[in-house]
Amino acid sequence: MKSGYGGLLSRYFKEAVGFFKQHILLYDKGPSLLNGSDVHQYFANFTAPGSRTSAFLHAELLKLEAAEQSHSLDPYRFEKHIGGQRTYMGCPIPDEAPPRPEENAIWNDRTKQWILPRLRSKAAS
């Protein structure tokens, strides 16, 4: 691939594929893409340097990267402020609570700390 922004593309590949799918649907290209080789070739053209689609994709991926970097600098990024009150999922956060560490953290009023739910492994399900 010779897009000129390979590192950015590899970091946000899932999002790039999403933009590619939107493009295919918008331009009704699905019926003409008969096999994996066709899709691969079309994606290579989609990301080819100098093309409008490549310029669009590059700009969108740069926006994602900038948003991610600005969020990573904000310790309160997993909270919302409503009427001056810190909240998460509609629940108030006490003023003395540290910043919410992750998007899925839950405040425990009894222990006065954030709790991170354990993820169940697929083998246990």
The domain locations on the chain are 6-73, 80-115
**84-90 average pLDDT score:** 87
Q: Residue 82 pLDDT more than 70? A: yes
**pLDDT tens digits, residue range 63-80?**
988 887 766 667 777 788
**pLDDT tens digits, residue range 20-69?**
999 999 999 999 999 999 999 999 999 999 999 999 999 999 998 888 77
pLDDT, position 83: 84
Q: DSSP for 6-62, please give it.
A: HHHHHHTHHHHHHHHHHHHHHTT-GGG--SHHHHHHHHHHHT-TT-HHHHHHHHHHH
Q: Residue 125 pLDDT more than 50? A: no
The answer to pTM > 0.75 is: no
